[in-house]
Amino acid sequence: MARPVGKKGIIERSALELFVEKGVDGTSIRDIAERAGVTEGALYRHHKSKDDLVRALFFEHYHQFAQMIKTVRTTHDGPEELLPALVEEFFRFYDEDHYVFEFIMLVQHALLDEVRQDAANPVELVSRIIREAVRKRQLPKQDANLTTQLLIGLVIQPAIGARYGRVKRPLSRHVDFVAQACLEIVRLGK
């Protein structure tokens, strides 16, 4: 988010950007050091290994992300309010620093096991929202797992589209349309 302060911050920012631009495996320690303007060894003062760096970056931002989601849940109620609010926050998160958003998308699968149980896990969260609304008869009966994946797809795919120049930034401009799409889907029933 904020531009990094200190060498440690610069190293981490450089790594984050490179991971998004070239992939984690495609980025070498040398690449990171070069962009950060330090030597390769400097990295190891702050992180035990490349893998450690990836995890640290992920969890740091994932926690921010989780915090944002928690806030939305306490300030909104019912799918009609929650889903649009979530779309808005996701897109705002993306627009604020799309590197961070893309990085989380990029490495989440590799770290899935450590995240799966987490209640802040967005997939978990959306799934619960659907299930609860169905229980309260706010939504028709449906396969909550499937619906959840569809909603996730509606939010993530525009981000991917933006990356490849197929969708215009900022994503915020698309909030209303995407939120509307989300609501149509959860109301479909099965």
Partner DNA sequence: AATGAATGAGATTTCATTCAT
Partner DNA sequence: AATGAATGAAATCTCATTCAT
49 alpha carbon, distance to own chain's centre:
24
Farthest-apart Cα atoms in the chain, separation:
60
Residue 161 binding partner per list a second copy, DNA, none, with a CB distance cut-off of 5 to 8 Å that depends on partner kind: a second copy
Tell me if 148 sits within 8 A of 130, measured CB to CB.
Answer: yes
Residue 157 as a binder of a second copy (CB under 8 A): the answer is yes
41 is a contact residue toward DNA (CB under 7 A):
yes
Residues 44-103 that bind DNA (CB under 7 A): 44-46, 48-51
Distances in Å between the Cα of 117 and the Cα atoms of 32, 61, 133 are: 32, 17, 21
C-alpha distances (whole Å) from 137 to each of 4, 97, 143, 187 are 47, 37, 14, 11
Question: Is residue 158 at the binding interface for a second copy, with CB under 8 A as the rule?
Answer: yes
Instruction: For residue 28, state whether it binds a second copy (rule: CB under 8 A).
Output: no
Half-sphere exposure of 4 (CA within 13 A, CB side): 16
| Closest distance of CB 143 from a second copy, Å | 7
Q: How far is the CB of 79 from a second copy (least distance, A)?
A: 15
User: Does the protein bind DNA through residue 6 (CB under 7 A)?
Assistant: yes
Stretch 95-154 residues interacting with a second copy (CB under 8 A): 109, 112, 123, 143, 145-146, 148-150, 152-154
Binding site for DNA (CB under 7 A): 6-8, 11, 27-30, 38-46, 48-51
